[in-house]
Structure 1
Amino acid sequence: MKLTIARDALLSALERARRVVEKRNTIPILSNVLLKAQGAGLTLTGTDLDMEVRTTAAAEVAAPGAVTVPAQVLYDFMRKLPEGAQVQVEALRSGVLIKSGRSRVTLNTMPDADFPELAAGDFPHTFDLRADTLATMFERVSFAISSEETRYYLNGIYLHVPAEPGAPEQAQGAVANGATSDGPHLRAVATDGHRLASHQVLAPEGTAGMAGIILPRKAVAEIGRLLKPLGEETVTLAVSTTKLRLTAGVTTLTTKLIDGTFPDYRRVIPAGNDRLATMETAALAASVDRVTTVTSDRGNAVKFSFAAGAPLTLSVRETGSGDAADEVDGTYEGEPLEIGFNGRYVLDTLGAMPGKRLRLALGDAGSPALFTPEGDDTSLFVLMPMRV
């Protein structure tokens, strides 16, 4: 293998491929990235056996071939070369020689034949989405993914097409790319048992009959990084019962799915809460942030006191630090209510909520509360209360 490539192009591709590589591995070759030169480009592949990222970069290939090299070492060397530099890569018997100007390094290699491949298999469902639409779906709900390993089936995002579009718990609504609310929806849901987040878009062609899948947390984070710079570009998703493949520009990510059954989340979404409050999202977030200053743990309970014709009062009592109280203007309809919420969970929810104002539907002090952005029925959030 022998090729010449721009340092910036190689570094960009290497950044995408190496992120999936774990820094500590019991299998040595998993610390490597596969370099494969052919045609007019260089393909780089990284994997952790559960997820694989394959990406390409333009290169002048003098001799095709393939080899694996330590991902982190190669990345560090490329990062320290000057911008705009040209890099020569040549496979030798003793390793891979990398030269740029007066700089050179020889890296140890392992046989490319030993590099594992995440067999894709058949994907019965393939569909396209705008990159920013998919990124928004994940941003709205990923904060609610559980980190509790014993409930592994909650360690990801549940992506599915509900059997009954427009079900009572979440009305059909407009989507980010301007489509109408008619038809079935593709919905993303995440929950850790204390909070739940849901966001939906109009289901693209190709999702009909697709079984629900649980996309792992690591894959969600990596897909988010790949989507961020693409904006309105279209990406392609291919789905089977065990894997998902995302094609975004010159990069393809393939990931195994979580093998489990996501719980019936619709059972915890309140439908009959008749105490209703509206207020500015930013004002509520600022108020919660202020009153939790006195807590030793931002997860401590914040008391929300609602009364018709009066501002919402937030209060915290911390034995070791003191007390804090604040008020937020808004409207409230219903009987007076005092209810507690985890302050950190409230801030996470408000941080993911679109729009300037929110609508809060409450039951009693022991019932889950429903948070929705005012005028936007594509997202909803549920929080379980705490004792105060």
Structure 2
Amino acid sequence: MRFTVSKSALQKALAVVVKGASSNTTMPIIAGVLFRASEGTLELQTTDLAISIRHSVAANVEEPGETVVSAKMISSIVKNLPDAPVTFDGAGSVLEMSCDRSIRYTLNTLPAQDFPSFPEVAPESSVELPLGILTDMVDSVFRVTSKDTSRAALCGILLTVEENLVRLVACDSYRLAVVDAHVETSSLSGSFDAIVPGQAFRDAVSAMAGEEAVLVGVTGTQVLFSAGTTTFVSRRIEGNYPDYNRLIPASCSTSVKLPVEAFSEALKRVAPMATTNPSVRLDVDVDGGLITMSSGAVDAGEARVEVDAPGTGENVRIALNDRYLQECLTAAPDDESLDLELQGSMKPAVFKSYGAVNYLYLVMPVHL
């Protein structure tokens, strides 16, 4: 095997596939990246047996072949190379690597025939979606996925595609995030839904960066993401997603228009006082058109900041986890304001915004 590839193309390709490599030291073959050179193309593959990633770049291939090298090692080497062509020359269990005439590496390799085959996925249903919108949607819900593996469904993001409506849902038992968007697409081959592992979903859209659209397809056990020369396959999470609609209140007794920038700044100013009790209290004064945000601890003191926020309904006091509140503001679409809907001090707080991407974030209160 002998081929030459530009350093920038190789580094980009490794950045795409490296997240698919396993950290399992007992199976070195899946901690590696498969290099396959043929007919002017270098294809890279990784897998941890749950996800598989494949990406191709142009290369000057003098002698075709394939081999497996450590993903962690090759990524570390390449990012520190000068911006010059990189040549690989391999035979047996050794791969010679050179760059800029003065840089040489000799890498131990593993046999390509031991590397797991890339899953061949024939989607039962699929749709092509604008990558920018899908990425924004994933970013808005990803942090709400649960880390509790005993409830596998909550570790994933529920993807629903029906006609031109795309919806993503995440929930961790303490909060719920729902985003949806209407997209113009003629490529939908049947409505579908799937629970996609949260980290895999995020890595998939990240791997497609720079593309205009991504094809999303599902089978009974897998979900496929494909754009340009990149293919990302992940196992679906089995089971049914909880009925999140029953958690969303049908009405509210208080509605407030929150100025996002001012509210976020106020949160940053009071959050440092939430040392032993990681929560902030919101005192909503509808008549005065303001919210007083406060936090404190017996050994630290108290902080209070007022924010102008017009509202209707009843005055109410509620306490919310400060991190959950900050993540709500960070994940919200780029709007100047959010609607805050409340039903009392011990009922969920619901934040909403409407636009190209509709956003709903529900968070359970903490005791005052």
**For the superposition of Structure 1 and Structure 2, which TM-score range results when normalised by the shorter chain?**
over 0.9
Taking a change above 3 Å as real, the CA distance of residues 306 and 94 of structure 1, as seen in their structure-2 partners, is closer
Q: 8 Å contact 2:141–2:168 — kept in the other structure?
A: yes
CA RMSD of aligned residues (A): 1.8
Aligned to 2:165: 185
- Which aligned pairs between 1:338-357 and structure 2 lie closer than 5 A? 338-354=317-333, 355-357=335-337
Aligned to 2:104: 104
Q: Output the amino acid matched with 1:95.
A: V
- TM-score normalized with structure 2 length: 0.94
Which piece of structure 1 moves more, 117-126 or 245-254? 117-126
Cα deviation for residue 344 of structure 1 reads 0.9
- Which aligned pairs between 1:214-363 and structure 2 lie closer than 5 A? 214-230=195-211, 233-296=212-275, 300-310=278-288, 311-354=290-333, 355-363=335-343
Q: 8 Å contact 1:213–1:241 — kept in the other structure?
A: no
Cα deviation for residue 237 of structure 1 reads 1.4
Aligned to 2:129: 129
Cα deviation for residue 345 of structure 1 reads 0.5
Cα deviation for residue 150 of structure 1 reads 1.6
Partner of 1:296, secondary structure, is coil
Q: 8 Å contact 1:124–1:238 — kept in the other structure?
A: yes
Cα deviation for residue 363 of structure 1 reads 0.6
Aligned to 1:154: 154
Partner of 2:328, secondary structure, is helix
Q: 8 Å contact 1:34–1:112 — kept in the other structure?
A: yes
Partner of 2:294, secondary structure, is strand
Q: Which runs of 4+ in 1 moved over 3 A?
A: 203-211, 227-230, 374-377
Partner of 1:370, secondary structure, is strand
Gaps of 5+ in 2: none
Q: 8 Å contact 2:93–2:111 — kept in the other structure?
A: no
Partner of 1:140, secondary structure, is helix
Deviation track 1:278-318 (CA, whole Å, cap 9, x = no partner) reads 12011111112211111225x72211111222211112131
Q: 8 Å contact 1:357–1:374 — kept in the other structure?
A: no
Taking a change above 3 Å as real, the CA distance of residues 303 and 132 of structure 1, as seen in their structure-2 partners, is same
Q: 8 Å contact 1:120–1:243 — kept in the other structure?
A: no
Q: 8 Å contact 1:304–1:312 — kept in the other structure?
A: yes
Cα deviation for residue 223 of structure 1 reads 1.9
Aligned to 1:168: none
Work out the number of aligned pairs and report it: 364
Alpha-carbon distance between aligned partners in 1 of 2:77 and 2:331, rounded to the nearest angstrom? 37
Q: Output the amino acid matched with 2:286.
A: A
Cα deviation for residue 245 of structure 1 reads 1.2
Q: 8 Å contact 1:90–1:97 — kept in the other structure?
A: yes
- TM-score normalized with structure 1 length: 0.89
Aligned to 1:177: none
